[in-house]
Amino acid sequence: MLEVELKLAVEGPFAPSLTPERINVSSVEELGPLDLHATYWDTADLRLARYGVTLRHRTGEGERPGWTLKLPAVPNDITARDELQFDGPGRTIPEGALELVTAFARSAPMAPVARLRTRRRRWSLRGRTGEELAELVDDRVSVLQEGRVVERFREIEIEGRSMDREALERIARVLAEDGATSVPGVPKLVRALGHRAEAPPDVSAPDRLSAAQPAGEAVGAAIARGVERMVVNDPRTRLGDVEGLHQMRVATRRLRSDLKTFEALVDPEWSQPLREELKWLGGALGEVRDLDVLLERLHEGAGELEARLAPLFETLEQRRSAGRAALMTALRSARFVDLLDRLVEAAREPVLSAEAARPGGEVLQPLVRRNWRKLARDARALQPDSPFEDYHRVRVRAKRARYAAEAVAPVLNGEAGRSAKRFAKRAADVQDVLGVLQDTVVARESIEPVAESRPSDGPFNLAAGRMLEREGHASERARAQFPAVWKQLDKQKVRRWLTQ
C-alpha cells in the first residue's frame, strides 16, 4: 500500500483547531487513542535508516501485533512510501520482510536498534459521502533504553487516504498557523537515533565533480550511481514490479558498460570478475525483462486477434514464470549478496590505475571517443537491406556510447558537459529506433515455433500469420527511420565536444 504522509514538529504548547471549515473537509471524527510500542530493526551501522527504510514490530493497534516495512516509493522522497505488512512474533523478522531488505542490509546482521512508545490521538477527516480523505494523528513519542525514557518528542502526521498531496499540504499550512513547524518527513526512528541515522547511504554518488579532480573520482561516482539504482530497485523487483525490474537491469548494464569504458583507469584483475558477475545477474534479469517487453508488445499489437493467439500467450507466460523462478533463486543466493558487497566496496574504493590520477578533464573524453569511433564506423556502413545482426551491433554500440557520455558528463565543465548530455540523448534516440527493430525480430522468433507446433490449428495459424505480417511492417518502418535519427547524432556540432 502506498503511504503518503506529511509531518510537522511540535515544540511547546499546541492546540489545533480542527473544524471542518478550516481544513476544508466535510467532517472531522475523533477516533480512540492508541498506546503503541514499537521495536525498530536495522544493521549496526543503520543501513536501512540511511536509505529511508524502516522495519518495525509494533503492538497496540489491534488484536494481532505485526511487522511493518516501509520502502521509499520514489528515491530520495520519504514522504511517499510503500507500506507492507507481515505477521509474526517480535523476536524474529519474517522471511518475507527480511528478503525485501536484502540489498540494503546485505551480509550485515539485523538487530533491534530502537524502542519507542507512542501515545497517539487521531482524527479521521471525511468527505461529503463519508469517505475517509486522510487521518491526522498527534503523537507524543518516548524513546526507551533498557526500559527508561531517554528522550521525548511530539509530532503531527497527516496521512492521505484518498486525498492528494496538495490537499495535505493545505492542511499542514493551517496547522502551522496553530504553532506546528513544517519539517522534512523524517521517520520517528531517525528522530530517535539522531545524526547517525541521518548520514548518507553507504553508497551515494556526489552531486557534481570538476574537470580538475582526478579521473578516478568519476569512476567511483559512476559505480555509485549504478549500485544505488540496483539497491533501491531490488525490493521492487522481488515484489514483481515491472519498472523496478527494468531499472535493476539497466543498473547492471550501466555498471558493466562503465567498467568497460573506464578500463584504462582501473585494474583489470579487479574489474573483470565484477563484469563477469554483473553479466550473470544481467542474464537472470534480462530473461524476465525481455519477456515482459515481448508480452506487452504482442498484447498491444494483437487487437482483435487476442483470443485466437491464446496458445502463444500461454507459452510465453510459462517461459516468464520459469524465468522469474530462476531470477528469484539468483536474488536469494549468497552469490548475489556477495556481489552487492563487492559493488558497494567498488563504489567506495575502486582499484585504479596510475592513469586515474590525472585530471578527469584530460582523460575522460578520449574514453568516449573510442566508443564513438566504433559506433560511427558500423553505423555509416549500414544499408537498408543490411542483415539484422549489423543493425543489432550498431544498437549495442549506440548504447555503450550513450552510457559513456552520461558517465563523463558530470565531470566536464560548462558547454562540454552540456554537449555530452545532448550527445547521449541523440544516441538514446538511435538506440530506441533500433530497439524496435530488435523487438520485431524477437517477436517473430517467438511466434514462428508456436505456429509450427500447431499445424492443424487453423484459427491460431491465421492469427499468427497476421501478427507476423504486422511485425514485418514494423521492422520496415524501424529501418526506414534509422537514417534520420543517425543523421542527428552524426552531426559535427553534436560530436565536436569529443575532440575539444
pLDDT digits (tens, 9 = 90+) for 45-62: 999 999 999 999 999 987
Confidence of residue 7 (pLDDT cuts 50, 70, 90): confident
Q: What is the 3-state secondary structure (H, E, C) of 410-432?
A: HHCCHHHHHHHHHHHHHHHHHHH
Number of separate helices (H) and strands (E) present in the chain: 17, 9
Q: Which domains does the chain have, with CATH numbers?
A: 2-198 (2.40.320.10), 215-499 (1.40.20.10)
pLDDT for residue 74? 63
User: Is residue 3 within 8 Å of 71, Cβ to Cβ?
Assistant: no
Across the range 69-82, mean pLDDT stands at 72
In the prediction, which pLDDT does 61 show?
A: 80
For 233, phi then psi, to 5°, come to -95, -5
**What is the pLDDT, as a whole number, of residue 184?**
60
Cell of 82: 510503500
Q: How does pLDDT run across 198-234, given as a tens digit for each residue?
A: 899 999 888 788 889 999 999 999 999 999 999 999 9
Residue with cell string 514485418: 472
Q: Convert the pLDDT of each residue in 424-476 to its tens digit.
A: 999 999 999 999 999 999 999 999 999 999 999 999 999 999 999 999 999 99
Looking only at the bridges linking them, the beta strands covering 2-10 and 77-86 are: antiparallel
CA dist 46 and 413 (Å) reads: 36
Judged against a pLDDT cut of 60, whether residue 1 lies above it is answered with no
Q: Report the first-to-last Cα separation within the chain, whole angstroms.
A: 51
With the C-alpha atoms ordered 482, 488, 491, 495, is the resulting torsion angle positive or negative?
Answer: negative
Report whether pLDDT(127) > 60: yes
CA 431 to chain centre: 21
Check whether 80 has a pLDDT greater than 60.
yes
Q: Would you call 249 exposed, middle or buried from its count of C-beta atoms within 10 A (0-12, 13-18, 19+)? A: buried
Burial track 3-30 (b if 16+ CB lie within 10 A, e otherwise): bbbbbbbbeeebebebeeeebebeeeee
Mean pLDDT score, 178-194: 77
Residue range 68-86: mean pLDDT, rounded: 77
Report the SS3 class of residue 305.
Answer: helix
118/272 Cα distance (integer angstroms): 51
Read off the C-alpha cell for 206.
556526489
pLDDT at 75: 58
Place of cell 578500463: 263
Say how many CA atoms lie within 13 Å of 483 toward its Cβ: 9
Mean pLDDT of 129-156: 90
pLDDT at residue number 13: 78
The type of residue at 262 is F
Provide the whole-model pTM.
0.89
pLDDT value at 328 more than 60: yes
- Are 100 and 239 within 8 A, CB to CB? yes
- Of 443, 328, 341, 292, whose CA–CA distance to 108 is shortest? 341
Cross-strand bridge partners of residue 158:
6, 136
Compute the radius of gyration of the chain from its Cα atoms. 27
Answer whether 94's CB lies under 8 Å from 88's CB.
yes
pLDDT value at residue 239: 96
Closest CA to 234 of 106, 139, 354: 106
Q: Establish how many alpha carbons lie within 13 A of residue 113's alpha carbon, considering only the half-sphere containing its beta carbon.
A: 24
* Closest-CA residue to 346 (of 222, 213, 248): 222
pLDDT of residue 318: 97
| 325: Cβ contacts below 8 Å, ≥ 6 apart | none
Mean pLDDT rounded to a whole number for the chain: 92
- Give pLDDT tens digits for 346-383: 999 999 999 999 999 889 999 999 999 999 999 999 99
- Residue range 235-269, pLDDT digits in tens: 999 999 999 999 999 999 999 999 999 999 999 99
Please give the pLDDT value at position 386: 96
Give the separation between CA 97 and CA 53, rounded to whole angstroms.
Answer: 12
Instruction: Say whether 421 sits in a helix, a strand or coil.
Output: helix
Strand partners for 34:
120
